[in-house]
Amino acid sequence: DRAELSLLRDAEAITLDGVRVKLEANIELPEEAAMALEAGADGIGLFRSEFLFMGRSDLPGEQEQYEAYASVVQTMAGRPVTIRTLDIGADKTLDGDIAVAANPALGLRAIRYCLANPEIFGTQLRALLRASLHGKIRILIPMISHMHEVHAVRQAIAVAGAELEARRIPYASNYELGAMVEIPAIAIAIEPFIDSLDFLSIGTNDLIQYTLAIDRGDNDVAELYDPMHPAVLRLIAHTINAGERAGKPVAVCGEMAGDASVTRMLLGLGLKEFSMHPQQLLDVKKEVRLAHSNALRIKVASALNRAERIDLASLAG
Ligand code: PEP
Ligand code: MG
């Protein structure tokens, strides 16, 4: 019940065998950071910045974005804040955009859109560099599939910094750079991405869509949208294992991370960083505190080796 959950708020997210897990919050608007803090989040694992851009006829400028990002960083008072750059296209469109690509989910979306629109991207990057003055920002790039996109992002950040310098506007370069793992290609060929980035965050919503060729918003095929498909779980496991080997943090920020019925399964895959809606945080923490991580890892690995479906009931208790 709620009273029990509120006691949990200040309890550590640690398994029975002593694995400390980070539980972070997904937010869509700066005001929601307060809710994340209230829920006891270890940080912001995903700020979907596109919501600053949606439902309006103009674009948010550098100053407006700077204030929005800085306010989240200030609210979180030293906890890490992961801000995803504009993920527009497909299911999220800007007003006035008449982008009707034949396959929008496979089209000019997210980082592809940003690299094709350097003014929009540059404005956001300058705002992020300025907001970094107030605390540690983790810049998260959506829909990465190629290494040359990572290089182009670094170049764009360098240009943004040079522009601020030319205008004598203060900024900091203490940011970390990470990528969403939400296209199967990057999960399969993960090593160079792990090596050149500071962290990764698995977007299971899109990873499932692209792995199973199931439109995440299409009701006619919703039954085939299966987070537990062994192929999906192998991609998640492969990414987590690569991160573990390289000593780089890997989070899950898709819907799965906030679903307490699969918390044990994700712990069994080796996940140590979960990001979810603030309201889901305490239920997930409760599961973490009742789980034995090592036993789960052995069970999950043996099922995945055979590409068997994992029986969630077999992971309980
Ligand atoms: C995801 O794809 O899992 C994700 C977290 O991003 P979004 O749902 O915003 O595409
Ligand atoms: Mg996504």
Nearest CA among 203, 202, 214, 257 for reference residue 105: 214
259-276 tens-digit pLDDT: 999 999 999 999 999 999
239-263 tens-digit pLDDT: 999 999 999 999 999 999 999 999 9
Q: Is the pLDDT of residue 98 over 60?
A: no
ipTM: 0.99
Determine the pLDDT at residue 3: 80
192-234 tens-digit pLDDT: 999 999 999 999 999 999 999 999 999 999 999 999 999 999 9
Annotated binding-site residues for phosphoenolpyruvate read: 48, 84, 205-206, 216
Determine the pLDDT at residue 124: 98
**Token couple for 252:** 């899950």
Determine the pLDDT at residue 99: 54
Annotated binding-site residues read: 48, 84, 182, 205-206, 216
279-288 tens-digit pLDDT: 999 999 999 9
Distance, CA 216 to ligand 2 centroid (Å)?
A: 10
Nearest CA among 311, 299, 227, 313 for reference residue 267: 299
For residues 56-79, average pLDDT: 97
Distance, CA 315 to ligand 2 centroid (Å)?
A: 28
Site of tokens 């948010």: 60
- Ordered DSSP codes for 26-63: EESSGGGHHHHHHTT-SSEEEEEGGGGTSSSSS---HH
User: Are 275 and 254 within 8 A, CB to CB?
Assistant: no
Residues flanking ligand 1, CB < 6 Å? 46, 48, 87, 182, 203-206, 253-254
Pocket test for ligand 1, best of 83, 84, 85, 182 (most atoms within 8 A of CB): 182
